[in-house]
Amino acid sequence: MGTNDAETVAPETCPTANGMPMLGLGTWQNDDPEQCAESVRTALETGYRHIDTAQAYDNEVAVGEGIAAADVDREEIFLATKVWISNLDHDDVLETARASLDRLGVDYVDLLYVHWPAGEYDPEGTLSALSELYDEGLIENVGVSNFRPEDLEVAVDVCDAPIFANQVELHPLLPQEEIRAACENDDVEVVGYSPLARGQVFDQPEIQEIAEKHGVTEAQVSLAWAREKGVTAIPKATGEDHIGDNWASLTVDLEQEDIDAIDAIDETSREVDPDFAPWN
């Protein structure tokens, strides 16, 4: 199937992981309010049912406006946001999570993440607040983001509510085998951000060859690879073309030799690496 067939891919064809659609729209750096609202609306009307934002993206209001403008019921949408590192004290989590719901214009979110195990993060205090929000029905699932296996182990141990997902940078140049194995061990879903390595996958000869073989784009190959790994990808896209191109990746079926070729890429690249990251 070619690259312009997004409109023929129905929402229900998107595989799910524990009820979470395995292809979502990322909105990081999509901070022009009109453009952000329009890209969310476009994605939902294209077929996406998973939208990812965060307090730190400063676009929750626009994301909410896009959801309200789309001809899709709120109940059909899996909406995720994240609590920023300066808001991770127990009481701040409770207060700022409610503020996020207000900005998004919703009664609940499907997934609320700890954005990084940094800043005010304290496993007991932070995660007990998330458990309270979970018990109140303001969040359907508790998530963590950028957690190493050892951080995840502590979180799973201390959190009263189940840890549903760990969102990490993940793409063919950063396959995160160790984190994927730890998540599988703890029944935690893996959500991959920057799944196209901020465009670096387009320059990989192996991915270029596979894309040519299947008559699809390098982006579609990379997203199909993530899906084969059981990873939920949330590529960022603003324009209708990219939103549609990424959505049409659901029609791409890679062969085992394709997956092996991608797995054998020996170039490594980490695109998101702040000083406060737990690995620094």
Please say if 48 is a catalytic residue.
no
| Token duo for residue 211 | 């894309």
Where is 144: in which H helix or E strand? strand 142-145
Of the candidates 48, 57, 113, 134, the residue annotated as catalytic is 57
Burial 106-120, CB ≥16 within 10 A → b, else e: beebbbbbbbbbbbb
- Identify the three-state secondary structure at position 17: strand
State residue 248 phi and psi, 5-degree precision: -70, -10
Give the whole-angstrom CA distance, residue 209 versus residue 222. Answer: 12
199, 77, 13, 168: CA torsion to nearest 10: 40
Give the whole-angstrom CA distance, residue 44 versus residue 39. Answer: 9
Task: List active site positions.
Answer: 57
